Amino acid sequence: MALKSTIFKATVQISDLDRHYYAEHALTIARHPSETDERMMVRLVAFVLNADERLEFGKGLSTDDEPDLWQRDLTGAVQAWIEVGLPDERRLRRASGRSEVVKLYAYGGRGAEVWWDNNARELNKLDKLEIRFLDEETTAGLTALAERTMQLQATLQDGELWLSAADGRSLRIAPVVWKALAGGASGR
């Protein structure tokens, strides 16, 4: 018998002072049986950093042809393809051909640094790709915030995210830019 996804609910009040985006999102996040709380919370942070009314979660780890999150326009064309973790370089290259912009939120401590060292040369050739890294201290703090039902306040300013839970716990998240979009295009 196959294991089912665990459902998490998050209500997130987002105040993005950098993009002048202010909204509340009621999110349902399905955590795949093989997914950790750490990875799920990085997906949540990726949503917050790119929040938009059309941004949605992909089908998950079991689907190869969808990202972790994506934003499509009204015609179905992919505007933003967002991955978390350490995907294969070929996957990011294919995504670059399908989307206006590809964003990766890498995490995993030393393993992520080794992944970047091994892939930086090829990935730096992809103009539509942006890569940001979340360190182990940050992802440990995110994991501590994971609950089946979450009430979160997110404030973004100057590229930093302050994430606060209803019980008063808060976390500063400052992703490190490993690769910016070509031509200085802005984005998170």
Tens of pLDDT, residue by residue over 94-108, are 999 999 999 999 999
- What is the pTM assigned to this prediction? 0.93
Within-domain flag for 19? no
Within-domain flag for 188? no
Within-domain flag for 7? no
Residue range 146-157, pLDDT digits in tens: 999 999 999 999
pLDDT score, position 2: 66
Q: Total domain count for the chain?
A: 1
Half-sphere exposure of 188 (CA within 13 A, CB side): 22
Within-domain flag for 32? no
Q: What is the DSSP letter of 148?
A: S
Q: What is the extent of the structural domain holding 147?
A: 38-182
Is the pLDDT at 186 greater than 60? The verdict is no
Q: How far is the CA of 185 from the CAs of 1, 78, 127, 180, in angstroms?
A: 47, 17, 10, 8
Alpha-carbon span 57 to 67, nearest angstrom: 8
Question: CB count, 10 Å around CB of 2?
Answer: 4
Within-domain flag for 31? no
Within-domain flag for 82? yes
| CA angle (13, 186, 99) in 5-degree steps | 90
Report which of 72, 58, 119 is spatially closest to residue 93, judged by C-alpha positions.
119
Within-domain flag for 125? yes
Residue range 8-18, pLDDT digits in tens: 999 999 999 99
